[in-house]
Amino acid sequence: MQLLFSYLPAKDLPAALALYRDTLGLDELWREGDATVAFAVPGTDVALMVDGAAQDGWGPGPVFLVASVADFWAAHGDALDMAIEPFEIPGGMISAFRDPGRNFVYVMDQSTAPEEQPAAS
């Protein structure tokens, strides 16, 4: 497992952008449409992902990359409290469970993402 993001749902994306980009000075890494923005967190490889299109029932939490969401659940499903059933996202799958404190912990894979091709010389 590799920590990729800290996920923060935002009901008011413009206000969140004003805080993280303008006030705190974080640099944008990427956007997904008009609803989701990821920010670089200085000194780390982890991004802050702010989601203005957050689904009902989703809460803030870490997002871990796993090789396969299906394999993750096959190995750990009996021990975890699934909060969000696995479903397709661009490039793979995502799901979530709750830890003992009822916090969300997300697992995602990039199992259907096209492999990066080496640059031609």
Whether residues 50 and 84 share a domain: the answer is no
Please give the average per-residue pLDDT across 53-59, as a whole number: 78
Query: What percent of the chain stands above pLDDT 90?
Result: 69
pTM above 0.85, yes or no: no
Distances (CA, A) of 100 to 85, 105, 106: 18, 11, 14
Any domain includes 120: no
Residue 2 inside a domain? The answer is yes
Task: Name the pLDDT band for 52 (thresholds 50, 70, 90).
Answer: confident
Domain that holds residue 25: 1-56
Confidence of residue 121 (pLDDT cuts 50, 70, 90): very low
For the chain, how many structural domains are there in total?
2
